[in-house]
Amino acid sequence: MAIIEIKVPDIGDFKDVAVIELLVKPGDTVKAEQSLLTVESDKASMEIPSSHAGVVKELKVALGDKVSEGSLVLMLEVAGEASVSNQAPAPVQQALAATETAVTPVPATVATVPVASGPVEVRVPDIGDFKDVAVIEVMVKVGDTVKAEQSLITVESDKASMEIPSSAAGVIQELKVKLGDKVNMGDLLAVLQGSAAAAPQASAAAAGASPSSASNAAPVQVEQAQAATGSVAVAATAVAVPAHNPTTPPLGLPHASPSVRKFARELGVPLNEVKGTGLKGRITDHDVQAFTRSVMSGAVQTQAAQANAKPAATGNNGAGLGLIPWPVVDFTKFGPTERKELSRIKKISGANLLRNAIMIPAVTNHDDCDITDLEAFRVSTNKENEKSGVKVTMLAFLIKACVAALKKYPEFNSSLDGDALIYKQYYHIGFAADTPNGLMVPVIKDADKKGIFQISTEMGELAKKARDGKLGPAEMTGASFTISSLGGIGGRYFTPIINAPEVAILGVCRSTMEPIWDGKAFQPRLMLPLSLTWDHRVIDGAAAARFNVYLGQILGDFRRVLL
């Protein structure tokens, strides 16, 4: 075993290029020519391969470091007695695009020509082993002004694809190629009205120019596969980039030119989600733009956004959570069935409920409170106000009592915002309403500023609107706390699901007369079952118990609200 130094090979004109990606870590076993890191200049990016197989002992570069030819990249433990000082750097390796099987080098065989002033012919430079490669993308049209080194077309063989740049700046007078044409080194691509740019002329390559003139050459971009951690475009400049052995291509990678990959990277567009409309499904910059537009307009969601967003009411089979799949059962085997679509409201609320149930570490405290006196007051109040047409139910008192408890325990009236809590200084109370189409949650705004009659009146109006399907968005949003009352129906306790981004919800069931021990005897008292569900990230069990106790005290003696 020996430890050898792996250095940056000849990367042509590139100097002080930034390390943008580390592809290995200490302990990793690497093959010869396996990519170790990605470097990027303002013109291109490329992967730096290992010259040997071995085990990575130590990384000598970090993200953001600047490297040049000869810079030490890492220490590698290799089999045998290799000399540390004698390791030739590996050639710069180009990875493979989705449909490609290998990448052929782009040798340095273009030469400089004198400055052009009249029409300039742009020809296919030396593109190495590529012969009869198909034009799969034409990036310019007649009349376009192009800069020297701007990509004009993309060509593709069965092994690789590459962008062919203009050797001069100018206005395109004639385009000599079209989609599907086969081209070779030296073929005429375009005629420019030159603007005296001192750029290399590809046609010189055909005339047998020497590889040593490489430093002046126009770059030819060779398409690079998208690495697992992000796409990287290699611009193999027309320097001496030696050939390397074909490697196994990564499968299922998107098919796009380096410039499109760069464009997508800049926009944060996941290329593998973009549908290519170019030849052979190739992704063009228009496709990237169209994808961006559709994401921005909300017409499309990226997979990452979908993963973070609410799952469908029932469409999610649990695979994303690493769960076993949802059982698919043919119920007709067991008896007659009928399939009915969920209502729109059920679909929407189902998705929200699922997210909230999964994402919130929720705990429910069950408690009873004595509402004997309050119920007597409610009944007498309703009698006194029979003619007003406003009926006061227990829920109106519960809303008022909750406001008092929220004021005393403000974290129940908050929302999580990353590592912080947003304390709301308003008291908008949502109440779950049962409608023919499903559950809706209208909101009583500023419940702290309203009396029991006003709350009762609004509740009646909002509940009616909910049942008639006439609630507006403003009437269903902005709640800071929610109450779900099943008191009119029955039941004892239940575990309501928090209506995110709220942090707590109060469930109420039907009050019943119960024998309560007063220290001397059992007394008949009307007991109201309360179920408070709370987000344990925000609220502690003790605080939840205090909230319930305080709520019970208020409902037991409503005069406490005034204290």
Return residues touching ligand CAO (CB under 6 A): 393-395, 431-434, 439, 463, 484-488, 496, 508, 510-511, 528
- Cα 484 to Cα 432: distance, rounded to the nearest angstrom: 5
Single-letter amino acid code for the residue at 496: P
CB of 462 to ligand CAO, least distance (A): 8
CB distance 371 to 526 below 8 Å: yes
CB of residue 544 to ligand CAO, shortest distance in Å: 19
- Smallest gap from residue 312 Cβ to ligand CAO (A): 19
The rounded distance, in Å, linking the Cα atoms of 58 and 344 is: 58
User: Minimum CB separation from ligand CAO for residue 435, in Å?
Assistant: 7
Nearer to ligand CAO, 206 or 433 (CB): 433
8 A C-beta contact, residue 144 and residue 172 = yes
The burial of 164, by beta-carbon neighbours within 10 Å (0-12 exposed, 13-18 middle, 19 or more buried), is given as buried
Nearer to ligand CAO, 357 or 422 (CB): 357
Q: Which is nearer to ligand CAO, 77 or 373 (CB)?
A: 373
Task: Work out how close the CB of 434 gets to ligand CAO at its nearest, in angstroms, rounded to a whole number.
Answer: 4
Nearest approach in angstroms of CB 352 to ligand CAO is 12
Assign 406 to helix, strand or coil. Answer: helix
Contacts (Cβ under 8 Å, ≥6 apart) of 51 = 6, 9, 32, 33, 87, 88, 89, 90
Q: Smaller CB distance to ligand CAO: residue 236 or 455? A: 455
Catalytic residue selected from 52, 286, 366, 536:
536
For residue 555, give the nearest of 429, 365, 378 by alpha carbon: 378
User: d(Cα 186, Cα 469) in Å, to the nearest integer?
Assistant: 71
Residue 52 catalytic? no
Name the residue number minimizing CB distance to ligand CAO. 487
**195/372 with CB nearer ligand CAO:** 372
132 Ramachandran zone, left/alpha/beta (phi>0; psi -120 to 50): left
d(CA 230, CA 287): 18
Return d(Cα 481, Cα 498) in angstroms, integer.
9
Question: How crowded is the C-beta side of 5, counted as CA atoms within 13 Å?
Answer: 15
Using alpha carbons, select from 526, 500, 530, 507 the residue that is nearest to residue 515: 526
Looking at beta carbons only, is 492 or 537 nearer to ligand CAO? 492
Active-site residue numbers?
536
